Structure 1
């Protein structure tokens, strides 16, 4: 046996063909996967493009939030700009690496990801999004520096046991050829979000002849993050208006019953990202690997502002989507057209807008029951303002041993409608296969608006849904 999960009905083992065939005949075995491929990393202005500086000016810098970097390698926690992060309990060692010493396990990729989240460099330089967040180094790499699915699960469960609020996964994994189908790690992290209330940010993947979003970024309940190029300009509104969707950022959506799932949910800067590296050095790199930790840092800032969000990853996701910037991003370098939702989701993350949403109380987390729909939220808005509203809920990966764990479906299809003070509908979103909906509209009048969460489908036996809600005004 290689690893037995504590948090999911999941066991990794090396078995002969005859034993696998015998397991296939057992009713208690929901699915069998080949898991012999290692996970792969997905490769100065991150904080500015994510607009974190406004949040810092209000004293919110990530204090009280714990972010785990689950990687095929360890963070160099001795770096001067990861100061205060070098407690021994904050490091996870794969059993195969216990004997080789801390320094030999350091990896530039993990250290660079960590710096995007929590570097303490000067605010006018390369500071991380949440510089006072607490980091955990979940090194999943085993012998020869390779990390497999069971290694990632082991590092993840160590991080949960250490109190991680946010998990960042800047890597992709497949069972061979990249596929649009969900696999065991998508289902595993869906369970971690729904059953263990953790916010999980995942790199969408880097196109290499196949632009399919990689696992575990195909999971319903995680926040999958693509990349943009901010052209190293991020100080003014005009600077933000030249941002371009990265050509390498994966966006081909997972397969779904009605074909309308959309991944990634958001994007962040992923080109020319300068961050901490091993041996007290700095490194500049490209990749969705460095976009995902910007979203992890944004989540840490939100938790720092409102610690109840530690238990509401659905609300974190709704806020991230509701406050993202969309219209400023170009599809390509010739700037002939704006990027589409298919490529950049709801847009580029905006930590300051998210913080305003929290301070203004424009968010909620509610538990919905079959007889509690439709459910309404109310907000007041001024005529002419651009309004963004988002809701998010979860898929239901099976968590009981006697049910097929391969099942990971949406047990509810919820729709979103917004009504003006006059009572007329001004916006709506009704996808079939997403676990979130969002709308954007210009307020036609000053007054109170009603958001209605509608039940298109609610499966028999579904007892409840956790729903996150947020809205933002420009």
Structure 2
């Protein structure tokens, strides 16, 4: 049913405006000679895309003892490396100074993220995870399809493993640690996490070999973690962007740590806009604190269950959790000989969900937003709080047999879309809009901004209050380095109209805001 929302518009000046410059499209890989893994001496500087290039905008402000060592033009950031013996206040002073420059949107440490698994005594054993999520029943409908691609951004994957080789095409992936196009693990005895994750999501099923993965989807490996299981934000963000550009339908991130990062947020926003569902691990601290990148609204956050479907003691939980999946003692592929071993963690729960997503995509043509809703709507309540299970334990059989339009598992299945077209005249211009809800209890609202390519517009949203957000006070912000922004809100607060602001960080031109409300 078409909606008939009402809009009120007011245009006002920002108290302080900053003109910006930004980079061209495209990406350059890590500069040869960069050390693999963590890059604790680097600062990532995000630059508005109206500049000639991120490197050109940043290097004029870099002190003599530092240098620009890497840039990503699609995500529009540059990495500045300081000497390892430089005092910490040198980097802090640089962040403070560079963020005052008109063309710079943010500066942050190149934080280290780690694989989110909890090692135990690996042992052979029977699988239970596919049965727990009813994958065996789903396989009566589909085993999955090579037309669906799951990208594993992780350690390298042993793509010649007997249970994985048929899931890889001619393009095995990309290595963002060693800067080449071969994502094979460097040290097989140490680098098993990516292979284990890949086997859970898409180890070949029904081939008289080893284990059965959740789906027979095509695999793509983005090696962004070293053999030690850790990696720099820049390598992981570059890998996420690359996977989206390769057409990955699902991007699996069994990793986390480092806190909020604008660089990583921009990467998962970019991937979502390119049509990829980003599935991420909640974290293994055993506390109420969902790890980033899972905590970003664009990501489908996954908590881990024990075999008895209680929350695993190591699993993080919180309001950001979307679904749960088995994560304890999950059997999958290993990198020594043709072994199969059990390990535990939200890292293991995440590819279960990615595999279920792959099965659903073989049956239904769904956008990332609709696929996210479908997995949540077809999840099974296992008796935990929403902070621990989200919408419930993911269920493969429900996901492939429930028509997304039927609203099975919750929601009425309807949606309404409304667009707003207007323009901003300069970087001192902003528009505020209010949207009247069509549904009394929508399951989700997606707000998208499409603006001019030669400007940098940002999107801010408030829910529940009806008050217009500002650049400093808001509930949600999409603040990438270009004018394409997206905000997804699950179970939005409809106590008042949705309030949205389109702000020009730099430049002028026409824009379109699209609001999609779903029952």
Q: Could you say whether these structures have the same fold, taking a TM-score greater than 0.5 normalized by the shorter chain as the test?
A: yes
1:274 counterpart = 2:274? no
The residue number in structure 2 matching 1:204 is 282
Q: Name the CA distance, whole Å, in 2 between partners of 1:137 and 1:19.
A: 35
| Separation in structure 2 between the aligned mates of residue 354 and residue 408 of structure 1, nearest angstrom | 33
Say whether residues 1:151 and 2:246 are aligned partners.
Answer: no
CA contact (8 A) 2:157 2:184 kept: no
Larger radius of gyration between Structure 1 and Structure 2? 2
Instruction: Verify the 8 A CA contact 2:419 2:513 in the aligned structure 1.
Output: yes
2:213 to 121, 128, 131: 128
Identify the residue that residue 55 of structure 2 maps to in structure 1: none
1:63: Cα distance to partner? 3.8
Map 1:327-342 onto structure 2 (within 5 A).
328-329=382-383, 339-342=384-387
- In 1: Cα distance, 2:452 partner to 2:490 partner: 22
Q: Which residue of 1 aligns with 2:419?
A: 369
5+ residue gaps, structure 2 = 1-67, 83-89, 119-126, 408-412, 421-433, 467-474, 477-487, 503-510
For residue 134 of structure 2, what is the aligned residue in structure 1? 51
Alignment of 1:380-391 (within 5 A): 390-391=443-444
8 Å contact kept, 1:315–1:469: no
- Structure 1 position 314, deviation (Å): 0.9
After superposition, residues 69-468 of structure 1 pair within 5 angstroms as 69-71=152-154, 73-94=155-176, 96=178, 98=180, 102=184, 104=186, 106=188, 107-122=191-206, 126-130=211-215, 132-141=216-225, 146-174=230-258, 182-185=260-263, 187-207=265-285, 211-231=288-308, 243-252=309-318, 262-278=319-335, 279-307=337-365, 309=366, 312-326=367-381, 328-329=382-383, 339-358=384-403, 361-362=406-407, 363=413, 367-369=417-419, 374-375=437-438, 390-393=443-446, 403=456, 409-410=460-461, 435-437=489-491, 456-461=497-502, 463-465=512-514, 467=516
On the 8 A contact 1:55/1:355 being kept in 2, the answer is: yes
Distance 1:348 1:34 in 2: 35
Judge conservation of contact 2:168–2:220 (CA < 8 Å) in 1: no
Q: Distance in 2 between matches of 1:69 and 1:146?
A: 15
Name the structure with the higher helix share.
Answer: 1
**Residue of structure 1 equivalent to 2:71:** 4
In structure 1, list runs of 5 or more residues that go unmatched: 232-242, 253-261, 330-338, 378-387, 416-431, 440-452
Name the SS for the 1:136 alignment partner.
strand
- Per-residue deviation at 1:274? 0.4
Kept in 1, the 8 Å contact 2:113–2:255? The answer is no
Whole-angstrom distance in 2 between the partners of 1:390 and 1:60:
29
Between stretches 458-467 and 114-123, larger displacement belongs to 458-467
Asked whether the equivalents of residues 397 and 409 of structure 1 are also in contact (C-alpha less than 8 Å), the reply is no
CA change 1:95–1:185 in 2 (3 A) is closer
Note the C-alpha offset of 1:40: 3.5
The change in CA–CA distance for 1:194 and 1:59 in structure 2 (over 3 A counts) is closer
CA RMSD in angstroms comes to 3.7
The structural deviation recorded for 1:373 is 5.1
d(CA) in 2 for partners of 1:98, 1:155 = 12
Aligned length: 387
Q: Distance in 2 between matches of 1:463 and 1:192?
A: 18
| CA pair 42-392 structure 1, distance change in 2 beyond 3 A | farther
Partners of 1:42 and 1:92 lie apart in 2 by 23
Cα distance change on mapping 1:144 and 1:229 into 2, 3 Å: closer
Match of 2:50 in 1: none
Cα deviations by residue, 1:18-76 (Å, 9 ceiling, x for unpaired): 654542220221211111434343342221112222221013524411010001x2111
User: Is this contact kept in 1: 2:186–2:227, CA < 8 A?
Assistant: no
Q: Tell me the distance in 1 between the aligned counterparts of 2:316 and 2:356.
A: 21
- Residue 90 (structure 1) shift: 1.8
For residues 94-148 of structure 1, give each alpha carbon's deviation from its aligned partner in whole angstroms, at most 9, with x where no partner exists: 3636499945255211111111111124499831111x20000110135977420
Structure 1 Cα separation of the partners of residues 211 and 261 of structure 2: 36
Per-residue CA distance 1:388-436 (angstroms, 9 max, x = gap)? 98335368799989659xx775466699xxxxxxxxxxxxxxxx87811
| Corresponding residue SS for 2:361 | helix
2:311, 2:379 → 1: CA distance?
A: 14
Q: 1:301 and 1:9, CA in 2 relative to 1: closer, same or farther beyond 3 A?
A: same
Instruction: Rate the CA distance shift 1:115–1:396 in 2: closer, same or farther, 3 A.
Output: farther
